[in-house]
Chains A and B, each alone.
Chain A
Amino acid sequence: DQQVKQNSPSLSVQEGRISILNCDYTNSMFDYFLWYKKYPAEGPTFLISISSIKDKNEDGRFTVFLNKSAKHLSLHIVPSQPGDSAVYFCAASANQGNMLTFGGGTRLMVKP
């Protein structure tokens, strides 16, 4: 039972354009959501997060949107840069974080 799903295994965008990565969840107990970026042979790097009491959080080029009624969140990267090319994982936690439940990841390729 996958509680966090990233339905697009890969995404390719042109440099300078917007990248939109999507994530769906099923567990209504999740109250905190995170995005991580992962390069090959490295551990995941924390990118941005959002609490369930908010619907948007912005940090520079990165914005996360949360739609609780649809149990859906998305990460927007504007403008996309070649250095953003990596695998992006969506993760969720309940009750101030014990375990994180991760999606399967989306590989983003930003073409120069």
Chain B
Amino acid sequence: DTGVSQNPRHKITKRGQNVTFRCDPISEHNRLYWYRQTLGQGPEFLTYFQNEAQLEKSRLLSDRFSAERPKGSFSTLEIQRTEQGDSAMYLCASNGQVTYNEQFFGPGTRLTVL
């Protein structure tokens, strides 16, 4: 069990470009969550999947954001037409093997939009 992994760890992009992040959850975890964390704040929920189904989306997830989990394993989060306000740490978490209470986080992808 290697834990939740996220790629890339860092991404610098210019405003208006599209970016895509990947999350690989802990094996056999059927729930996968995306959060965003800005400086000095706690993580904020974006969306979550149970297997391949996207079950909940936050109002923070504007129409420029889309997330997929096509085969119920890894997930991608795409941001189209990035804005400077999108600069943040994007965190992925998973759970479900034993309990749905504790969530286990990856190291995050830090996005900087210039």
Chain A interface residues toward B at CB < 8 A: 4, 6, 32, 34, 36, 41-46, 49, 51, 89, 91, 93, 96-105
On whether the beta carbons of B48 and A89 are closer than 8 Å, the reply is no
On whether the beta carbons of A46 and B104 are closer than 8 Å, the reply is yes
Rounded to whole Å, the gap between the CB of B70 and the closest CB of chain A is: 21
Nearest CB to that of A100 among chain B residues?
Answer: B103
Chain B interface residues toward A at CB < 8 A: 4, 6, 33, 35, 40-45, 48, 55-56, 58, 91, 93, 95, 99-108
On whether the beta carbons of A44 and B43 are closer than 8 Å, the reply is yes
On whether the beta carbons of B103 and A97 are closer than 8 Å, the reply is yes
On whether the beta carbons of B103 and A46 are closer than 8 Å, the reply is yes
Q: For B58, list chain A residues within 8 Å (CB).
A: 99
Rounded to whole Å, the gap between the CB of B93 and the closest CB of chain A is: 8
On whether the beta carbons of B101 and A104 are closer than 8 Å, the reply is no
On whether the beta carbons of B100 and A97 are closer than 8 Å, the reply is yes
On whether the beta carbons of B42 and A89 are closer than 8 Å, the reply is yes
How far is B68's CA from A104's CA once the two chains are assembled, in angstroms?
28
On whether the beta carbons of B56 and A43 are closer than 8 Å, the reply is no
Nearest CB to that of A96 among chain B residues?
Answer: B100
How far is B95's CA from A6's CA once the two chains are assembled, in angstroms?
25
On whether the beta carbons of B100 and A100 are closer than 8 Å, the reply is no
On whether the beta carbons of B100 and A99 are closer than 8 Å, the reply is no
Can you report 29 residue pairs joining A to B where beta carbons are below 8 Å apart? A4-B42, A6-B42, A41-B107, A43-B4, A43-B91, A43-B107, A46-B102, A46-B103, A46-B105, A49-B102, A96-B101, A97-B95, A97-B100, A97-B101, A97-B103, A98-B56, A99-B33, A99-B45, A99-B48, A100-B33, A100-B35, A100-B45, A100-B103, A101-B45, A102-B43, A103-B42, A104-B41, A104-B42, A105-B41
